Homo-oligomer: A and B are copies of this chain.
Amino acid sequence: MKRIDTLLTPRAVAVVGASPRPGVVGGEIFRNIVHGGYHGAVYPVNPNHDQIEGVKCYPAVTQIPEPVDLAVIAVKRDLVLDVVRDCGAAHVPHLVVITAGFKESGEEGAQLENAMRAEAARFGIDLIGPNCMGIINSTPEVALNASFSRWFPKPGPIAFISQSGSLGETFLEFFDRMGLGVSLFVNLGNRAGLTENDLLAGLADDPRITTILLYLESFADPHELREIAARIGGTKHLLALKAGRTQAGAAAAASHTGALATPDAIVDAFLRQSGIIRVFSIEEALVALRAFSHPRIPRGRRVAILTNAGGAGIIATDACERTGLDVPRFSTATQAKLAEFLPPEASIGNPVDMIATAGADDYARALSVAIAETDAALVIFRPPIVLKDPVDQVAANIVRIATQFPDKPVVACTLSDSEFVAPFTTALTAAGIPVYTMPEDGVAALSVLHQANRALTAAAAVVDQFQPDHARAAAIIDRIRATGRETVSFADGAEILSAYGVPIAPYAYVDDAGFDTFMRDVGFPLAAKLDAPGLMHRFERGAVIIRINNRAGLDRAIAQLQVVAQRERLTNARILVQPMLSGRELIFGMKRDPVFGPVLMFGIGGTLVEALHDVSFGVAPVFPNQAEAMIRAIRAFPLLKAFRGQKAVAIRPLAMLIHRLARLSMAFPAIAEIDINPFIVGEGAQGAVDILMKLIT
């Protein structure tokens, strides 16, 4: 982990490539620092000028008479290496490289980027960029705009770390426009040096920052991110806008950043497991940040909606249901209290439509009655043409009641951006109540606050007490790897899995010594199959015979499978016998993703998975509660409840199974792939019926 304190709060900054000419990036940065009111010393560096904007200009960083904490480099690409060496010689600890033309422009640029990284490392210099727009720290005692952004946000509890420069500036513009307090901005650019993880870790102990937004097109190191997020998630809210979500988008992101594309469902699972709230558009990110400027986290999903405009109440109710929030009908007692003062035209069930005549007192009384029964409130106030009370009085009343419920978020909507609502908006915003124009945005704000509640617990690292028999699994894996084989027999796979606590359906090989005992124990009906490493599509190749009802049938099946083994030239095939388990068929799987490592998969067997791709993912480690969330996330989850005469499936044991598969996969990097299909959960008996496991050879 890198130290970022002097990067973000330098006492002296050099701008290499500063220029008096307009439209030159280094000049824009220098002017932004000077005009932004930076509290430290700033030194322009450019051999062609004596002074810029009245400030003495130095021919090289090494010539600056005082220590420099940060050098911002905006010279031509081919000069960057020399400047980095100068900075090394001058003991500059931090560089922000604005210059483009590196990895993003092809092979030659990539080589130059590597050389620059090596030079910086040689001098122990931390590097931001290259190909970035700079950094901003608007904290009053620093006031540094070391970027070429035209916007400089006011200070506040938000930090913004962006992989993209152009979108970064779009965000800065709207932070400014919305009056959002954003103290820190870092554009990572090509991310040759410091990553989002270094920045997050560096902000861990900064009490002024309570919310961090990441804009990412790829992850520098997802496991490091997860670890840091778990560490700081208790004190800070983390939000991520991850672009390249869809296949085409990922391809575009890959060509933009040279990053590997990962299925978006895995990214989704990963962020949820990390306790990072995902937002899906620039607008949603901005809506969320306004809510997180003074966040109150609701304990549940119940929302009270008050309105003086009926239609907006209906639209807000629709939006709540769409985003998973409840608009519960109020109790009779609450409705009676509302009926005491609201006119007969009002609706009192929730949403509470107080009609256009509602005044400041109505808002106060209705809010205090309604929010008592919910976890949050959305207050819609559109100033009517005939004002009963001044709008700031309505606002004051809402603030007064909201203050009495400090752990319940209150969000307001105005349905207007006009001068009529300005005093209302100003008063509420000043009191930390976010105000949105549209009801859908107000609901989106409540939804994201609700997600923050879930995020607090989602990342919790709970493990089970089960002690796997690591040595047993290791011995089998070593033995197979010694043969150079890639595929694992059923028996070996079953041994490895059961060493990690995965239940296996009863089985025996017909050539086992204990086969007769097994036959006495399990009885009929049975299934018999050929087990040979590398034998795929067993069903299609006649290597599975099911519904064997008696000994004669078993003998016939064995003879038949021997014929198949000969035909398929399977010299080391054995014949495996299992009882026919009946029950729900499940699929558990593991694949290694090049970015995320072991990714666990869960689905319901049969046509559903094949036709609907109805599976869910989890990135290892998958803690039991996260595994349970995975199981509940599939669309077909209702099939696991009591259904058509079958009892409900116990979810916890299945969650432990996923958790243990994840532990196994992390413990043995040699396991490339696991596929348990089907795993049958019957009444009583349950276990893996078929196992496909591949090793990395």
Contact = CB atoms under 8 A, between A and B. Distances in A.
A386 interface: yes
Nearest to A415: B170
Given A167-B309, A249-B321, A418-B150, A607 B643 contact: yes
B317 A215 contact: no
Interface size bracket, A side: 35 or more
A101 interface: yes
Contacts of A385: 23, 25, 28, 148, 150
A675 interface: no
Contacts of A106: 344-345
A321 B283 contact: no
Nearest to A352: B252
Contacts of A344: 105-106
A84 to B, nearest CB: 21
A643 to B, nearest CB: 7
Interface in A348-391: 349, 351, 353, 356, 382, 384-387
A104 B416 CA distance: 24
Interface stretch (A114-122, A205-213, A523-531, A632-640): A632-640
Nearest to A217: B314
Interface string A213-252: 0010100000000000000000000000001111111011
A380 B613 CA distance: 34
A167 B315 contact: yes
A387 B418 CA distance: 34
Nearest to A147: B385
A662 interface: no
A41 interface: no
A457 interface: no
Contact of A246 (B164, B310, B318, B351): B318
B607 A644 contact: yes
A327 interface: yes
Given A164-B309, A249-B314, A418-B150, A281 B639 contact: no
A170 B313 CA distance: 13
A417 B420 CA distance: 23
A664 to B, nearest CB: 31
A639 to B, nearest CB: 5
B243 A311 contact: yes
A168 to B, nearest CB: 8
A134 to B, nearest CB: 11
Given A164-B309, A438-B282, A321 B248 contact: yes
A163 interface: yes
A347 interface: yes
A274 B251 CA distance: 37
Contacts of A283: 438, 440-441
Given A23-B385, A345-B105, A416-B170, A314 B612 contact: no
B310 A256 contact: yes
A252 B313 contact: yes
B311 A150 contact: no
A291 to B, nearest CB: 17
Given A252-B317, A317-B248, A611-B643, A310 B166 contact: yes
A24 B385 CA distance: 8
Contacts of A537: none
Which of A109, A167, A244, A351 has the most chain B CB atoms closer than 10 A to its own CB?
A167
Given A150-B418, A282-B315, A349 B243 contact: no
A255 interface: yes
Contacts of A356: 166
A319 interface: yes
Q: Which 7 A-B pairs have the closest CB atoms?
A: A164-B311, A166-B309, A246-B321, A249-B318, A167-B311, A105-B345, A249-B317
Given A607-B643, A610-B643, 5 more contacts: A173-B416, A246-B317, A248-B321, A282-B440, A283-B441
14 contacts: A23-B387, A101-B345, A106-B345, A150-B385, A169-B415, A170-B312, A173-B416, A243-B318, A244-B314, A244-B318, A251-B349, A255-B347, A256-B353, A612-B635
